Amino acid sequence: MADIIQKTTEYRIKQIELAEAQYYKSLVATLDRIEREVVSLASRLPLTDGKLIELQSAIAIRPRIKFILEREYLKWSDDVVREGFNKQAKRIEKAFKRIGNIPIEFQELTKGDLALVQNLKQQYFTQFKDVSNTFTRRLSEKVYQNTLVGSEFAVLEKELRQTINGIYASSDDPEITRLVSKVKKGNDEIDNLLKPYRDKNKEVPKSIQRKVEDLENSIKKETQVLQSKFATDRTGENMKRYAGQILNDSLRDFDATLNFNKSQDAGLTFVKYYGDVIPTTREICRNMISGVYNKRKSGLFTVDEVRKLWASRSWSGKKSGDPLVVRGGYNCRHQWSYVNPDWYDSKGELII
């Protein structure tokens, strides 16, 4: 018998990954527009002998930078929390219906669930907005500081571009340029492969799924190389990095929070950990998935057991909060599924 729990969980995980890729692509386009507009705005500052000199103009530029970020970036953020969260909520509802062995009143989104969805939208939009406020200040400070010391415009331009897009903005490293190009090309290929099926809401053929998985694996490897180079560069603290982090975690934490609350309402207090293992998978996640910590043949844990396990260990990237929500920490791509131990036989096999 096919494991319906595993299939529904993997479906949720895969859809989150597809949504993240879609929104990250639009984030890149949004930040590229912001970069162009902010640099164009700064290029109109008064110069003397090619150097910035007028502090009053440097101070006056801040509200115009704020306007650009709010118009472009907050519009993108709103799309993520409205469209992205609504679609994932529907997928969670679909997963509960597919499992079926749950009281009917818990198989659909309730008024309480919808209220929670609304609260989570507001919570994560606030996090996105904090990034906008932070980088409005940082970009304004770059303009003021460079004007104060009389820098040439080229110096300010480079700092503005790096503050928005980091090393991806204007790298003179040919390997980084090549890898960035391959990542963008790979994402475009995935979109082109899946678009005909998304538009018609049709199931994706296995042959196309395999091509998409091959492309995703290639993108993961190239991204890991970029991140290793990225981490050693002093311009790593940039808007793209922060926004991308919140995008990643908000989609997955939203899924985990709504799934947890629906499961608690339905009386499901046992969990199982799901997701793939890649070279960067943290040891605690790898051990959970491979069965190192198993107390039962089925690989199930009670909610309390999970919390005690997480509290007793520390690891790089550990994130504060309930482990049923934050899972393995920042950038974790795994998810919990909630089950009833009666659904498993003495050998740990699913019998529903």
- Range of weakest confidence among 40-44, 47-51, 60-64, 190-194: 190-194
Per-residue confidence (pLDDT) for residue 174, from 0 to 100: 73
Task: Indicate if the pLDDT at residue 292 is higher than 70.
Answer: yes
Per-residue confidence (pLDDT) for residue 190, from 0 to 100: 83
Task: Indicate if the pLDDT at residue 195 is higher than 80.
Answer: no
Contact 250/332 with Cβ under 8 angstroms? no
* Cα 37–Cα 122–Cα 28 angle in degrees, nearest 5: 30
Per-residue confidence (pLDDT) for residue 171, from 0 to 100: 52
Between 61 and 168, where is the model more confident?
61
Per-residue confidence (pLDDT) for residue 181, from 0 to 100: 75
State percent of the chain over pLDDT 90. Answer: 52
What are the structure tokens assigned to 324, written together? 């049923």
- Range of weakest confidence among 16-20, 225-229, 295-299: 225-229
pTM of the model: 0.78
What are the structure tokens assigned to 30, written together? 């949004």
Task: Indicate if the pLDDT at residue 278 is higher than 90.
Answer: no
Cα–Cα distance between 315 and 321 in angstroms, integer? 14
Per-residue confidence (pLDDT) for residue 235, from 0 to 100: 46
Residues in the chain, how many? 352
| Residues paired with 152 in a beta bridge | 51
Task: Indicate if the pLDDT at residue 349 is higher than 90.
Answer: no
Q: What is the mean pLDDT of residues 200-208?
A: 75
Per-residue confidence (pLDDT) for residue 173, from 0 to 100: 63
Contact 250/330 with Cβ under 8 angstroms? no
What are the structure tokens assigned to 286, written together? 């790898």
